[in-house]
Structure 1
Amino acid sequence: MNPGESALDLAARRLERAVETLEQRLAGRGEADGGGDLFGDDERARLAAELERARARERELEAAGAEASAALGRAIREIRTALGRESLPQEH
């Protein structure tokens, strides 16, 4: 990952490369064998496993994002509460 590049940017680049590869295979297979199966059994199994890992990672990232959002919300409330106390006159 390059500096300043988010995980989303990286995922988008990977998706673009995958789509390009798929388009190339579709074009090549369609010409070579009249449009038969795009992938062999081994490749299909590998792709299915990779897709499942990607979906699991997506779920993990969504959960982490929700946890981070909740933590930020709590921190904001605590800061606002602390700032509100500072604006009140101090009793001696």
Structure 2
Amino acid sequence: MDKLNSAAESLDRALSRLEGALDTLFERAGDPGVVKRELAAMVADRARLADELDASLARERQLQALADEASEALGSAINEVRAALNREGSS
């Protein structure tokens, strides 16, 4: 019977240590439900930010194309003005 009591006491101490370790672990990790919700919110934020980045990059490409087009038009206008001034100067 002593062996049984001793084993029961050892088991009780081991369970107490396990409970303490689990309590510490849960305190450090937080409530699993909260952690899952925070993770889901971070994943949703990442997806939203990725979509916004994609949209911003597409807009940047559009603006760059418009800037290139405007630059070409300005270059052509400058060349036309120079050509007209050269014609006027040589007359």
Question: TM-score, normalization: structure 2?
Answer: 0.54
Q: 2:57 aligns with which of 23, 48, 69?
A: 69
Give the unaligned 5+ runs of structure 2.
1-18, 82-91
Deviations 1:30-88 (A, max 9, x none): xx84x547227x70111000000010000000000010010011000001001101111
Q: Which has the larger radius of gyration?
A: 2
TM-score by length of 1: 0.54
| In 1, Cα distance between equivalents of 2:74 and 2:34 | 59
Instruction: Structure 1: state its 5+ residue gaps.
Output: 1-31
Higher relative contact order (CA 8 A, sep 6+): 1
1:49 counterpart = 2:29 = no
In structure 2, give the amino acid aligned to 1:39. Answer: F
Measure the CA separation in 1 of the matches of 2:58 and 2:74.
25
In structure 1, the residue corresponding to 2:26 is in which secondary structure? coil
Q: 2:73 aligns with which of 76, 81, 85?
A: 85
Moved over 3 A (4+): none
* Of 26, 30, 40, the match for 1:39: 26
Structure with the largest fraction of helix: 2
Please, what is the CA RMSD of the aligned residues?
2.9
Separation in 2, partners of 1:73, 1:82: 14
